[in-house]
Amino acid sequence: MDKMDKFEVLKKYFGYDGFREGQELLIDGILEGQDVMGIMPTGSGKSLCYQVPALMLPGITLVISPLISLMKDQVAALNQAGIHAAFLNSSLSYNQYRKALAFAREGRYPIIYVAPERLVTEEFLDFALHAEISMVAVDEAHCVSQWGQDFRPSYLKIVEFVERLPRRPVLSAFTATATSQVREDVVGILRLENPVMVTTGYDRPNLYLGVQSPRDKYAAMRNFVERHPGQSGIVYCATRKLVEEVCGKLIRDGFRATRYHAGLGDAERRNNQDDFIYDRSLVMVATNAFGMGIDKSNVRYVVHYNMPKNLESYYQEVGRCARDGEPGECVLLYGGQDVVTNQFFIDNNQDNEELDEAARELVMARDRERLKKMTFYCFTNDCLREYVLKYFGEYHSANYCGNCCNCLQHFETTDVTETARALIGCVSACGQRYGAAVILDTVRGADTAKIRQYHMDENIYYARLSKIPVYTLRSVLNYLLMQGYLTTTDDAYAVVRLTESSREVSAGNRIVTMKLPKDKERPAEGKRSRRQVGAGVSDRGLFDTLRALRSEIAREEGVPPYLVFSDKTLEHMCVVKPKDKGEMLTVTGVGEFKFEKYGRRFLKKIAETEN
């Protein structure tokens, strides 16, 4: 391989003219022999941060990756770009594994992806101890932390492996989501030495964020899918049973859907995943077992049929949408049962069984607090994007993103002090013994068996707020909980309790204001003005023609269409309308290797369409 600088590598193999935010700092750090840690949102180009220097460093870069699907996807993309890469994991037969190791010994691969479990096996160690390993890159680095949302004990083998090497390589660590505690854990556990730290921010402005609470979740989801004809999307469900149910209904309703969960056999999971990646099935209905490392760039929407158990998981899952930087839509369909389901998962988490009782209780308390913050996301009337960014420690001055359901709905700041006093008074008068549902039923004057059984119809605040709509009462109570005017216990029942702030409101020393919808409870569908993929091109017909050619090439080569060229690249072709190689190489995502492979067919198709 000729000696190239980082810009030449970027253009030749990846087709880009410049680096995104944070990439160059991390690449320069690696090339200077420094450890690095990059915290960058999904779709921001983390993999380039270790792939570019891997092609410039002598010897081999090992990429530690947690999932087979992630490795396969990235190796396929590298091979498409003309880079020799391999993966070593349990999906290979013993003979395939030995053959790959033999090629690795011969120096055929500058990049090798390996599962953490393989690192300390005798055969792999024998190879590693006699190879020139320049860098070990740890992908999904949050998996090393017990406080991360995806702790994997196998990641702890990484340090043991590095210490056994004859020469310490550069260590690089990358993740999309990491709170400050997880960040410190990763640096400490991996023993990164004075690392270059880059955090590019968590914002994905191309993603629309929405929350709905429909009476009929399936009808709402089906309507959403219908509004995205011919586009790829993921529907996440909380349980295997729901995945089967929802996927079955979609297929009966005529959609090209498939499913993925841990209850399916390996072969079926692999086939279903391939159907989705190769665009044979447009809708993937799945549990959270699906998606880590899936680099499909043209997923145009992600629907959460149920609320996830924490914001880390939620943001990682919506991060699989629109990785090409084009517009994407992410909608969460919230229902009260979602809280109960997630509470059950927390109480019965088998990953915690190896911990001692004290540590287990601590982890469960942390998980309940995360669930509470996730629930608040579903309730807030403030900007959803700002809520997420604040959770991860980012603070922006604006409280308006213009691309979430709350920012696109009309709200007005309302004084809710009297309503707040009645709700707080009801909690106080009942001795802080009941949950939110009982408090709401009491103040609105519900005549139910439970209210009579608890004697809440004798509470002095019974029916005090009967003229206020129940959705407004729920919004005010959720706001009081979010802002710390009230709190709840950490057990399954979640009893509402008073705080110092609630006493200030009761004493008349604090006014409570919040944003409430001006007209309807929920935003009317269809009022949004979000750009659709391809809508920004001057020639929609050409865009569709190029997509058809891309599909044809993908079928011929047996690769996913997005590995030929991304939607973003096709859009740029429609703007540039290149007439020759020089003009085609100015299109983002078109490098020398891909031009030689596909460029002339696209030039010919553009010329035919123009003439």
Band the pLDDT of 136: cuts 50, 70, 90.
very high
Q: Give residue 532's pLDDT.
A: 57
Q: Give residue 177's pLDDT.
A: 74
CA-based nearest residue to 171, from 182, 183, 186, 185 = 186
Residues 323 and 265 in one domain: yes
Residues 185 and 213 in one domain: no
Residues whose CB is less than 8 angstroms from the CB of residue 420 and which lie 6 or more positions away in sequence, other chains included: 476, 480, 485, 505, 512
The domain of 546 spans 540-610
Residues 251 and 346 in one domain: yes
How long is the chain?
Answer: 611
Task: Confirm whether pTM is higher than 0.85.
Answer: no
In a domain, 527, yes or no: no
Distance separating alpha carbons of residues 83 and 543, to the nearest angstrom: 28
In a domain, 396, yes or no: no
Can you spell out the DSSP letters for 89-103? STTS-HHHHHHHHHH
pLDDT at residue 576 greater than cutoff 50: yes
Residues 473 and 376 in one domain: no
pLDDT 10s digits, 257-287? 999 998 998 889 889 998 999 899 999 999 9
Q: Compute φ and ψ for 578, nearest 5 degrees.
A: -65, 145
In a domain, 29, yes or no: yes
Distance separating alpha carbons of residues 105 and 543, to the nearest angstrom: 45
Percent over 90 (pLDDT), the chain: 55
In a domain, 102, yes or no: yes
pLDDT 10s digits, 67-89? 777 788 888 889 888 899 999 88
Residues 235 and 121 in one domain: no
Q: How large is the average pLDDT for residues 170-187?
A: 86
For residue 559, the domain's CATH number is 1.10.150.80
In a domain, 1, yes or no: no
pLDDT 10s digits, 105-114? 888 999 999 9
Q: Give residue 528's pLDDT.
A: 44
Residues 489 and 553 in one domain: no
pLDDT 10s digits, 236-261? 999 999 999 999 999 999 999 999 99
In a domain, 97, yes or no: yes
Residues whose CB is less than 8 angstroms from the CB of residue 320 and which lie 6 or more positions away in sequence, other chains included: 42, 234, 291, 294, 296, 299, 302
E strand intervals along 422-476: none
Of 168, 199, 230, the domain-final residue: 199
Q: Give residue 519's pLDDT.
A: 56
In the predicted model, what is the mean pLDDT of the chain?
88
β-pair type (232-236, 299-304): parallel
Residues 383 and 439 in one domain: no
CB-CB contact of 155 with 66 (8 Å): yes
CB-CB contact of 151 with 351 (8 Å): yes
pLDDT 10s digits, 34-46? 999 999 877 678 8
Q: How large is the average pLDDT for residues 16-31?
A: 92
Q: Give residue 527's pLDDT.
A: 42
CB-CB contact of 19 with 53 (8 Å): no
For residue 464, the domain's CATH number is 1.10.10.10
Residues 230 and 173 in one domain: no
Of 199, 232, 249, the domain-final residue: 199
Q: Give residue 526's pLDDT.
A: 39
Residue 152 CA, chain-centre distance (Å), reads 18
One-letter amino acid of 156? L
Q: Give residue 38's pLDDT.
A: 93
In a domain, 524, yes or no: no
Residues 187 and 131 in one domain: yes
Band the pLDDT of 292: cuts 50, 70, 90.
low
CB-CB contact of 285 with 251 (8 Å): no
Band the pLDDT of 524: cuts 50, 70, 90.
very low
Band the pLDDT of 525: cuts 50, 70, 90.
very low
Residues 453 and 505 in one domain: yes
Tokens 């056999």: give the residue. Answer: 265
Residues 228 and 369 in one domain: yes
In a domain, 401, yes or no: no
pLDDT 10s digits, 409-429? 888 889 999 999 999 999 999
* Tally of domains within the chain: 4
Residues 367 and 268 in one domain: yes
For residue 97, the domain's CATH number is 3.40.50.300
